[in-house]
Chains A and B, each alone.
Chain A
Amino acid sequence: MSATFLGMPGNFPKNSQKAVQDSQLRYNLRKATHTIRGKRASVVGELPDWAELRAAGKAIKDHTLRNLDRYLVQLERAVQDAGGTVHWARDAAEANRIVTALVKATGEREVVKVKSMATQEIELNQALAAEGITAYETDLAELIVQLGDDFPSHILVPAIHRNRSEIREIFLEKMPKTPEGLTDDPPALAEAARLHLRERFLRSKVAISGANFMVAETGTLVVLESEGNGRMCLTLPETLISVVGIEKLLPAWRDLEVFLQLLPRSSTGERMNPYTSMWTGAVEGQDFHLVLLDNGRTGVLADEVGRQALRCIRCSACLNVCPVYERAGGHAYGSVYPGPIGAILTPQLRGMGSELDASLPYASSLCGACYDVCPVAIDIPEVLVDLRAKAPHAAAEKAGMKVAGWILDDHRRLAAAQRIAAKVRGLVPKKRLPGPMSAWTDTRDVPEIPEESFRDWWERNERA
């Protein structure tokens, strides 16, 4: 990918306004989100103890976060004891430096990658490219995104905004040696990707992955996937480098029994994903490196309301039920974490310094559907509201709110204000308010001001 999300101009309202006018995108998104949503509901319905699993998942994550320092040290020891090397990275730059140095030490100029949000977050591919190392994405959707010089738009199915004919065009244009007469049939496209990647898998000496879970007690890393590209990367190369956010930890081996039930059912709507790989340290002769990534996570942890976002297991169930995501799509969020979880995670990880990040807490109707489906019960609406209060506001808005607060604080002031409003009602524009207030009327009509307030009407008619 050549472009970058960080510092993307604009804000969520502007980005989404553009997106909703793209009827192809809206059609793709609606079809995708409704399909996965239905599948998820049906497999979750199969488990009579879903509520208990969800409560356990939430509590395990909260307990881990409370004791994160202790468990990370335990994990480090277990990985080292099993022959792995552990590295710590305070931020994206440090993580990229560590990975780049590890790749260079092998003498290789190419790496294969398993789909990983952590490495997207730190923009590892760009950092490697700057050092002359080419990173090849191997997940089919990530490959489509990479070849199309595009951005992922969904956590689970990153190329969901593309349809089959667009994918065929991308393959024909960007993939060397596409099969002759390539059609837009999904099996034909998947076969083309298989041929394209197979040689690369067999050739590559270094792989980079993330992980869905790390177990402190045993030092085990866990990757869930469907295609087998993950297994190819994790198994075949001589060196494996895993970059994992510090919040991906679970205390005990036993805890996997909860998350291996919660994650596949919540994300792809399957009872189990086709492949799960687990490895502890250096196995089958591989050289194994684990890079533990902070990059803003400890800052999120320090926020009493916002820290619950760190429970997230990246299942994407919240995206698939969100009425805002369904219409605006993932790109509007300008982050590798789109949808409701992105709206609370991104502004916490990056801060609300940019216009885009400050707008994200508003990328929601607060309907609460995301909270209902979240397998670890993250109260996304609660965090959104909390972040809205913390977001920077324009001086005019702050002044207006202060005045409104002062008026609403006292019933006599309110009654006086209503009487004044009734007197000047003829002067108030019907559709657009002037100046800074125009922001409010961009998406609403001005409500009609009554001739007389209810209070005055009551005084006149009923009091006597």
Chain B
Amino acid sequence: MSAREEILARIARAVAGAEDVEIPRDYRTEAATGDLVGLFAERVDDYRAVVHVLPAAEAAGLVAERVAGRRMIVPDGFDLAGHESWPDLHTADGVVTGCAVAVAVTGTIVLDHGPGQGTRAQTLVPDYHLCVVRAGQIVSSVPEAIARLDPSRPLTWISGPSATSDIELSRVEGVHGPRTLEVVIST
């Protein structure tokens, strides 16, 4: 018998006669209403990320300012006129991306690595990640984010910069991922 057949047969024997279970789903699917932008900004700030909330025109200005003079990776599909994308992942100073969805209650940004979001490696290897979140992309809760995402795409959920608490539980930012996460919320 192959390992596959044997494991499946063991399972069938183990659960024979056991009753099935109904799954109660009476938890909240929406976590908050009202000022989602404010809540998201507050929660991202809690992770020691840098956060700005700006009207769209000013947000674009801030991004241009941050990118100027730096060896920044600008992924295909990211709308940034007049800046050449730095071609080498390993010598880049940073990366600028959009996102697929953001979660207010947890302060999380989700990238699905579609247009304007780069590859998984591009948002990981450089030490600085500048992420633009449009206000309309912010949902209140984790269930709303899950509902909006396409599981056939690779997904990266980011909640603050890279961090470790492995040494005496003292939090240190930037072990392997970007040390600095800067989030521009465009309203």
Contact = CB atoms under 8 A, between A and B. Distances in A.
Contacts of B27: 49, 52-53, 56, 258
B76 to A, nearest CB: 14
A388 B158 CA distance: 44
A301 B151 contact: no
Interface in B111-155: 113, 119-121, 124-125, 142-143, 146-147, 151-155
A88 B4 CA distance: 5
A94 to B, nearest CB: 6
Given A90-B7, A157-B166, A226-B164, A275 B156 contact: yes
Given A36-B169, A164-B167, A226-B164, A52 B26 contact: yes
**Size bracket, chain A contacts:** 35 or more
A374 B1 CA distance: 38
A298 B4 CA distance: 13
- B interface SS class: loop
Which 9 residue pairs across A and B have the least CB separation, nearest first? A228-B177, A228-B176, A276-B157, A298-B10, A302-B14, A257-B143, A52-B27, A141-B166, A272-B106
Contacts of A440: none
Contacts of A276: 155-157
Nearest to B47: A274
A194 interface: yes
Interface in B1-33: 2-4, 6-8, 10-15, 18-29
A257 B107 contact: no
A147 interface: no
A446 interface: no
A76 B47 CA distance: 37
Interface string B147-187: 10001111111111111111111101011111000000000
Contacts, number: 226
Contacts of A348: none
Interface in A176-218: 186-187, 189-190, 193-194, 197-198, 201-202, 215, 218
Interface centre among A141, A197, A278 (most CB of B within 10 A): A278
A265 B93 CA distance: 33
Interface string A128-165: 00000000001111001000000000000101100110
Contacts of B147: 254, 257
A19 interface: no
B108 interface: yes
- A interface SS class: helix
B121 to A, nearest CB: 5
A301 B143 CA distance: 30
Given A163-B168, A228-B176, A260-B146, A73 B7 contact: no
Interface centre among A157, A228, A280, A294 (most CB of B within 10 A): A228
Contacts of B168: 28, 31-32, 163-164, 186
A332 interface: no
Given A226-B163, A227-B177, A280 B151 contact: yes
Interface in B25-58: 25-29, 43, 46-47
Contact of B7 (A36, A144, A197, A294): A294
Contact of B154 (A31, A279, A307): A279
A273 interface: yes
A314 interface: no
Nearest to A52: B27
29 contacts: A32-B169, A48-B28, A49-B27, A52-B28, A56-B25, A56-B26, A59-B22, A60-B23, A69-B12, A72-B8, A90-B3, A194-B176, A198-B176, A201-B176, A202-B90, A226-B163, A227-B177, A235-B119, A253-B151, A257-B142, A257-B143, A274-B159, A274-B160, A275-B156, A275-B177, A276-B155, A277-B156, A284-B113, A299-B14
